[in-house]
């Protein structure tokens, strides 16, 4: 199972040290980009993400929760994003936004919120490189995984099979010791761990454990 560590859960006064500690093990870093309008919080600005890009060569995955998403695509791509993930509700035309992301040189991701309908058309499977499946409401942390999430992952995989296109499927929100194996079994490629990594006494051991979950699921199959 891949792990894209959420820096929102790291010590915000020691982010450089947090990155250095786990950099050899993470598959990438997940950054929630919030403008205080779409969700009631503010995170992470362009200067910070440019500094992070200089600190690591790992994938930088920016989850954009911005009221004027399209206006920020180019600037966050220039700041060093490998992957820009957007919400359909914050885009005037999500298909055009996904095209814009790809034209900027970044990979395109689409958020699948808890209440979003699941269909080949709604998931824009022909345009996305990743689907970020939310296990909780957006803009919050510390909540448990919605119980329907593993089944939604399995349904998305079925739709990918119908469409003949298989983007990466990553789950964000409610990532815990008891939920990661369920998500691996459902077919998710990765998770966005926050406190599961940065709240542990040994973040590196936690990352090793996450990586092992897909292997254990494959062995059972």
**pLDDT tens-digit profile, the chain (221 residues):** 999 999 999 999 999 999 999 999 999 999 999 999 999 899 999 999 999 999 999 999 999 999 999 999 999 999 999 999 999 999 999 999 999 999 999 999 999 999 999 999 999 999 999 999 999 999 888 899 999 999 999 999 999 999 999 999 999 999 999 999 999 999 999 999 999 999 999 999 999 999 999 766 656 55
State the pLDDT at residue 141.
83
Residue 99 annotated to the active site: no
Pairing of strands 107-112, 190-192: unpaired
State the pLDDT at residue 218.
59
Q: Pick the catalytic residue from 61, 129, 172, 189.
A: 172
Residue 80 zone, left/alpha/beta (φ > 0; ψ -120 to 50; rest): left
2-220 CATH choice from 3.30.70.260, 3.40.50.1820, 3.20.20.70, 3.40.250.10: 3.20.20.70
Residue 32 annotated to the active site: yes
Query: Using CA of residue 55, residue 59, residue 63, residue 69, what is the dihedral sign?
Result: positive
State the pLDDT at residue 217.
63
Q: Give CA–CA dist 112/184, Å, rounded.
A: 17
Residue 4: half-sphere exposure toward Cβ, Cα within 13 Å: 25
Q: Pick the catalytic residue from 32, 61, 129, 189.
A: 32
Give the position of tokens 């995984």. 145
Beta bridge partners of 97: none
């Amino acid at each position: 199972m891949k792990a894209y560590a959420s820096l929102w859960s790291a010590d915000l006064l020691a982010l450089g040290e947090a990155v250095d500690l786990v950099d050899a093990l993470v598959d990438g870093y997940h950054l929630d980009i919030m403008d205080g309008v779409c969700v009631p919080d503010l995170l992470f600005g362009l200067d910070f993400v440019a500094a992070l890009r200089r600190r690591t060569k790992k994938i930088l995955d920016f989850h954009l929760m911005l009221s004027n998403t399209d206006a920020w695509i180019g600037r966050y791509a220039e700041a060093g994003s490998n992957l820009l993930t957007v919400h359909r509700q914050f885009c005037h035309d999500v298909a055009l936004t996904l095209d814009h992301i790809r034209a900027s040189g970044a990979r395109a991701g689409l958020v699948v919120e808890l209440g979003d309908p699941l269909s080949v058309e709604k998931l824009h499977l022909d345009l996305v490189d990743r689907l970020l499946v939310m296990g909780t409401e957006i803009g919050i942390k510390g909540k448990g995984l919605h119980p329907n999430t593993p089944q939604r992952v399995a349904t998305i995989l079925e739709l990918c099979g119908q469409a003949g296109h298989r983007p990466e499927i990553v789950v964000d929100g409610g990532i815990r010791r008891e939920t990661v194996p369920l998500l691996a079994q459902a077919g998710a490629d990765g998770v966005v761990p926050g406190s599961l990594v940065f709240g542990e006494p040994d973040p590196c051991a936690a990352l090793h454990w996450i990586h092992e979950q897909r292997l254990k699921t494959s062995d059972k199959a």
